[in-house]
């Protein structure tokens, strides 16, 4: 099960393997960072989300 890259919460998977959340990529990298719905609400732009990931 995927975990949020920011808060480490487990991201619930809906049917058809769709994550309840999103996946973002760092510029110039193919590494995926799953982000949960709650963190998406907290930080609304991709730039802000990326800043939270260390
Ligand atoms: Zn989160």
pLDDT at 39: 94
Spatial contact of 48 and 19, defined as CB atoms under 8 Å apart: no
CA of 28 from ligand 1 middle (Å) equals 23
- Render pLDDT for 19-51 as a digit per residue (tens, 0 to 9): 678 889 888 888 989 999 899 999 999 999 999
CA of 7 from ligand 1 middle (Å) equals 4
CA of 36 from ligand 1 middle (Å) equals 4
* Average confidence (pLDDT) over 13-21: 71
Encode 20-36: b = buried (16+ Cβ within 10 Å), e = exposed. Answer: ebeebeeeeeeeebbbb
Under the banding of pLDDT at 50, 70 and 90, the label for residue 52 is very high
CA of 3 from ligand 1 middle (Å) equals 8
pLDDT at 6: 95
CA of 39 from ligand 1 middle (Å) equals 4
Does pLDDT of 17 surpass 70?
no
pLDDT at 21: 84
């Amino acid at each position: 099960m995927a975990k949020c890259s920011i808060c480490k919460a487990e991201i619930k998977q809906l049917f058809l393997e769709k994550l309840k959340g999103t996946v973002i990529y760092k510029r110039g990298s193919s590494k995926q960072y799953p982000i949960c719905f709650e963190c998406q609400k907290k930080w609304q732009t991709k730039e802000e989300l990326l800043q939270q990931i260390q």
